[in-house]
Structure 1
Amino acid sequence: MKKILILIIFIFTTSCSIKLFEDKKNITLYNIDVHIEKLNNKKDTTIENISSVEGLNSSKILYKEGINYGYFQNSKWICSVPCMFKNAIIENFSYIRENSNNNLDLMIFNFEPHFNNNENYVYLKIKAKLKKDNNLIGEKIFEYKLNLDKITTEEVIIKLNKSVELFLIDLDNWLSTY
């Protein structure tokens, strides 16, 4: 009886550990890596809010293939898309302050690669609102579509980073007009 009990425990623990071992994957983490050298805006600005559509509010890397959406299996963002955009803005815009009269609100609609039969590209679409003393003084939609030269995760990340760089340059220029 003792041997049967030991055998049952051995089989149970072995079967559980094999399942745990099979579920482990090598996940590569990516981040927005952008550095803007010249800034035009000189006015202090506060990031009031950065939000996104539900599919982007995750560390999973979203993609669109045809009409379907999915997530990369072995690649993830270091944090959610809004989190990475906030970090990129803080790192690149020296005029971001904790409290100021100018409040920036961003809504990220798209930040993903699109894979179609005849065209592969990354697409970024963001709506920016600027408020001064709680009054809306400006609103703009920024859109970027960059073709993919190759269909690899690295190429997708390079092009997504380039779209963020273009966005930050344009956002800085737009903010400087107020």
Structure 2
Amino acid sequence: MKKLFFFTLLIFLSSCSPKIIPEKTISYYSVDVQKLELKNKNSVNLMSVDGIDYLLTKKIAYRENYKWGYFQKGEWICSPDCMLTKNLLKNLPYLSENSDNKLYIKILDFYVDFQPDSAYSVASFQVSLKKEKDEYSKVFNYKVKTKNSIEDIVKGFDEALQYFIKDLDSWLSEKL
């Protein structure tokens, strides 16, 4: 009877032992635009960079056949608004807290669109500029065709952000 009790106790305790679950390996990616040539010479105060809630995460969003999701093994190093702010500060030296010109940016889209034959890095930004009593607004849309690998998709976002920063600089040089 003692043997049966100890055997049952041993089975019970071993079944309750902690299981080792392998840790999920996640790769981190960042968009990093190289220095660009600029047109604008007037200062502007970057008031905010924000976006749609589902994009303000480190998770990389995608769309495939009208279904939305996030990559399981890849994430942004920081959220798209964080990466955009970093790249704007790096590339637009005329951003100044002392300027009366106020710039607001909202990220409308920042996702991968998977199609049967390729993928697209999709980015869209709504920009508002307040200059004295005037207010200007514009939406910038980018869709860069890439291959299906995550490295190519990140390069597509690099390219889209590079286009955006150049276009934003040109737009600001017209409006300021």
So what's the TM-score if we normalise by structure 1? 0.86
| 2:38 and 2:169 in contact (8 A); partners too | yes
Residue equivalent to 2:67: 68
1:37 is displaced (CA, Å) by 2.7
Residues 35 and 90, structure 2, Cα contact 8 Å, conserved in 1: no
Letter in 1 for 2:16: F
Aligned partner letter, 1:138: Y
3-state DSSP class of the match of 1:127? Answer: strand
For residues 6 and 165 of structure 1, do their structure 2 counterparts lie closer, same or farther at Cα, with a shift above 3 Å needed? same
For 1:80 and 1:166, the matched residues in 2 are separated by: 19
Which residue matches 1:144?
Answer: 142
- In structure 2, distance between residues paired with 1:51 and 1:144: 18
- Find the counterpart in structure 1 of residue 18 from structure 2: 14
Distance 1:106 1:2 in 2: 68
Q: 2:57 maps to what in 1?
A: 58
State the distance in 2 between where 1:136 and 1:118 align: 45
TM, length-normalised to structure 2 = 0.87
Q: How far does residue 80 in structure 1 lie from its aligned partner after superposition?
A: 1.1
After the TM superposition, list the runs of 4 or more consecutive aligned residues in structure 1 that deviate by more than 6 angstroms: 1-7
Q: Check conservation: 1:57, 1:81, Cα contact below 8 A.
A: yes
Alignment of 1:68-147 (within 5 A): 68-118=67-117, 120-133=119-132, 135-147=133-145
Give the partner amino acid of 1:145.
K
When residues 13 and 45 of structure 1 are mapped into structure 2, their CA distance, relative to the original with a 3 A threshold, is farther
Q: Secondary structure at the match of 2:73?
A: strand
Task: Report % sequence identity.
Answer: 30
Unpaired segments ≥5 residues, structure 2: none
- Going from structure 1 to structure 2, the CA distance change for 1:168 and 1:10 (only over 3 Å counts) comes to same
Q: CA RMSD in A?
A: 2.0
SS in 2 for 1:167: helix
Following the alignment from structure 2 to structure 1, what is the Cα–Cα distance between the partners of residues 66 and 117?
Answer: 14
